[in-house]
Amino acid sequence: MKDLLRTQDLSRDDVELLLETAAAFAEDPLRSKSALANKSIAIYMTKPSTRTRLSSETAVAHLGGTPIFIRGDELQLGRGETIADTAKIISGYCSALIIRTFAQADVEELGAHASIPVINALTDDDHPTQLLADWLTIRENFGKDISGRKFVYLGDGNNMSHAWLIMGAIMGAHVVAATPSGKWAPNAKVVEIAKNIAANSGGKVEVSHDPEAASKDASVLYTDVWMSMGDSESERDEKVLALSPFAVTENLFSLTKKDSIFMHCLPAHRGEEVEASVIDGPRSVIWREAYHRRTTIQSLLFHLTKGDLKGN
């Protein structure tokens, strides 16, 4: 496995290895401080970022490498140089490429033409690096035995909902995406892929349009902002109205298991997708979750550059 382009690229064994190594990096960030010695890692972002940029640059630095951050307007792509040519040029200078952008097709084209590992750090379709951080956080709270547990995402059927369903299916979990029906539901093809993976892993994948039924006895309630980068402002009022029943309120959270946790990929809009008393409450794990963006990207770089991941 050369690249991580989609969450579904990962096998269960890959995820287990990545989480084990990430947990070790959480304990000792510099345990492999020469793994990328004398190597450079390109970090290319056409979308603004806080966690992804900071976690990527620190992950590279903790492995002894040099991060090279590139904004979207700093490459010749903006003047018509092809993605294929760009991939080949970056491959000549760097040992891996982390990319955060809009179109999934652009990431896949980079992966096809680069000779170095390409890591998808978010597209409009998927967010695999976030889900690795999420699952390490889940494991810290509940351990490896997740039998009888339900993990619920509430809100927009966006890239996060897609990654949530796919990763949960890989891990053999009972995962739910509770969203409005219609245009803000998860992509039907992604749901089908997740269900096919779950059929082999022993997991269970559900799409619900009832936030209360979905939240009942859940171990995790997870949400994301309602308006993502690139969303049309002209649809804001319609979208907020449709998503309002899926806001994580104290009342909704009260339906969950006693040891349940609240998760959010951040940034958050308190009073919109989640009440402040929930996200800032004692069962919120958002800061540990954000911390693991670094440990899991560090683990990804460590194993992908060594060719340790097998993929599906």
Q: How far apart are CA 54 and CA 145, in angstroms?
A: 32
Q: How far apart are CA 108 and CA 84, in angstroms?
A: 10
Give first-to-last CA distance, the chain, whole Å. Answer: 8
265 counts as catalytic: yes
Q: How far apart are CA 162 and CA 193, in angstroms?
A: 10
Q: Are 205 and 165 in contact (CB under 8 A)?
A: yes
236 counts as catalytic: no
What distance lies between CA 161 and its chain's CA centroid? 10
Q: Which of 6, 265, 294, 303 is catalytic?
A: 265
308 counts as catalytic: no
127 counts as catalytic: yes
Q: Which of 3, 9, 126, 130 is catalytic?
A: 130
139 counts as catalytic: no
Three-state secondary-structure class, residue 143: coil
Q: Which of 224, 292, 298, 303 is catalytic?
A: 224
| Phi, psi dihedral angles at 175 (to 5 degrees) | -120, 145
Q: Which of 62, 127, 174, 303 is catalytic?
A: 127
| Phi, psi dihedral angles at 292 (to 5 degrees) | -75, -5
Q: How far apart are CA 215 and CA 253, in angstroms?
A: 7
293 counts as catalytic: yes
Tokens read off for 249: 């309120």
Q: Which of 100, 162, 264, 292 is catalytic?
A: 100
Q: Which of 174, 293, 294, 303 is catalytic?
A: 293
Q: Are 203 and 178 in contact (CB under 8 A)?
A: no
Three-state secondary-structure class, residue 152: strand
Classify residue 298 as exposed, middle or buried by CB count within 10 Å of its CB (0-12, 13-18, 19+).
buried
Catalytically active residues, by annotation: 100, 127, 130, 224, 265, 293
